[in-house]
Structure 1
Amino acid sequence: MSEAVKRWCYFAGLLAPIWLVVGVTFTGMFYPDYSHYSQAMSELGARGAPTQLLSPLINNYPLAVLFTLFGFGLMKTFPKSMLARVSGALVIVHGFGSMLAGFFSCDRGCDLVSPSIEQNLHNLAGFIMFLSLLLANLLWVFLAKRQLGVKWFVWFSLAVSLFVIALLPLMASAVESGEGFGLYQRLNYGAQALWVFVLAGLMLRASNFNQAKSR
């Protein structure tokens, strides 16, 4: 893979978190009385929701492409590091999960009491998305200094992982209370997306530096 193509893959990683924020915000504008504080992002694409068809087209499917491109770029950048290639594969799995989560809608309100088969598949896709990106994140606790020579990214990756895990009990509590789940979910996924953004920026910077040295 040429350096130019790799840079496009890194740029996809930079764009994905921005796309996520803009896409969810934009889609929410077409859902009357939608609450980003209390409601899950999945409710934007829920069956019967006013944005059921719009949400996956704006959010899930484009994000699936962006994450897949970035993961592919990671795999091609570190052909001699098995862990780095695994991290890239996990990012690709995350993109695949995003596509599945958009294809299989949750029920109206994403009710967990008696979910349909389609919602169970949606929930499975969401779990795959969460776990794959968390594992990719954790791998860079061990990879950052060795592959990029950036010690602070080790601690950043660890901090993001711990923050994401720490939010899980709060998310579970919010499901029971019916208050604040949307906020905690956005903080959870937002932290993971920020990690992708920072890694993509580091990769792009390293690529530009190497290109400048070769001239």
Structure 2
Amino acid sequence: MAKLNPLILLPLLSFLWLASGVVLAGRYYPGYDHLGQFMSELGASGTTHGAWVNLLVFAGAEVWVLLFVALAGRNFIGNGVALAGLLLLAVYAFLLLIAAFFPCDFECRPVEPTRSHLIHVSAGMSAYAAGLCGLFLISTGLRRDGRGAVSDRTAGLLVLAGAGLLAGTVLSQGYAGLFQRVLEGLLYLWMIRIGVALSRQAAQVDVTPDKRSADPGPTRRSTRQI
């Protein structure tokens, strides 16, 4: 049975970690609505299990992303555009870690927000923007190297879609949770797609024989007459 490449496994694990944690935490939050409420509300100040949700679910999910960034970095040596994108992806994960340790106020829609709430919202919104820009730059860099995960047009459409989902998350009253979850899914699918492209390249390198050692070279004909 073939092993799943870590470059695919790590973002997949992060997605499953976050999704399962949110679903489980939502079951212990009375009346929680996944379509209408932010995921952050599960870890908001004043909730029963907020501290554990922030530490284990939200912060835990970003650890997998940072491991993905660290492992993928060696594939981008000499590719400045992709490295810049990878740096932004690391910023995305670090900002979400900050958001996890500075929870929003109860129900995340306060009339007079606390400092923790302001930090949480600023870090979270900035993280999504950094993640979208980072994935776009990674895809652009890979395309220039002939290792494109997605086409330039698709990458541009994904950024526009992500920006629209981010706006919906901020502005929507009844479906903020839905917009946020679709945005998270878009970011994770894009990360996984990049992981697939990198793992395919690694597989091709592993199976390509060394022609210098495999090719015995031209056979010399003897010039001796019999």
The letter of the residue matching 1:199 is I
Aligned to 1:19, what secondary structure does the other structure show? helix
Structure 1, unmatched stretches of 5+, are 1-6
The letter of the residue matching 1:184 is F
Query: TM-score of the superposition, structure 1-length normalised?
Result: 0.86
**Is 1:116 equivalent to 2:114 in the alignment?**
yes
**CA deviation after TM superposition for structure 1 residue 205, in Å:** 2.3
Check the 8 A contact 1:98/1:126 in 2, yes or no: yes
**CA deviation after TM superposition for structure 1 residue 73, in Å:** 2.4
Query: TM-score of the superposition, structure 2-length normalised?
Result: 0.82
Where do 4+ consecutive residues of structure 1 move more than 4 Å? none
Partner of residue 26 from structure 1, selected from 13, 24, 27:
24
Q: Which has the higher helix share?
A: 1
The answer for the alignment partner of 1:56 in structure 2 is 54
The answer for the alignment partner of 2:193 in structure 1 is 198
Matches within 5 A, 1:179-194: 179-194=174-189
Percent identical pairs in the alignment equals 26
For residues 31 and 67 of structure 1, the distance between their equivalents in structure 2, rounded to whole angstroms, comes to: 27
Tell me how large the CA RMSD over aligned residues is.
Answer: 2.1
Partner of residue 101 from structure 1, selected from 99, 102, 110:
99
Cα deviation, 1:179-213, whole Å, max 9, x if unaligned, reads 11111111122211211121112222222222222
Structure 2, unmatched stretches of 5+, are 211-226
Matches within 5 A, 1:115-194: 115-150=113-148, 152-174=150-172, 178-194=173-189
Check the 8 A contact 1:38/1:183 in 2, yes or no: yes
Which is higher, the Rg of structure 1 or of structure 2? Answer: 2
- Cα 1:158–1:141, aligned 2, differ >3 Å: closer, same or farther? farther
For residues 180 and 134 of structure 2, the distance between their equivalents in structure 1, rounded to whole angstroms, comes to: 19
How many residue pairs are counted as aligned between the two chains?
206
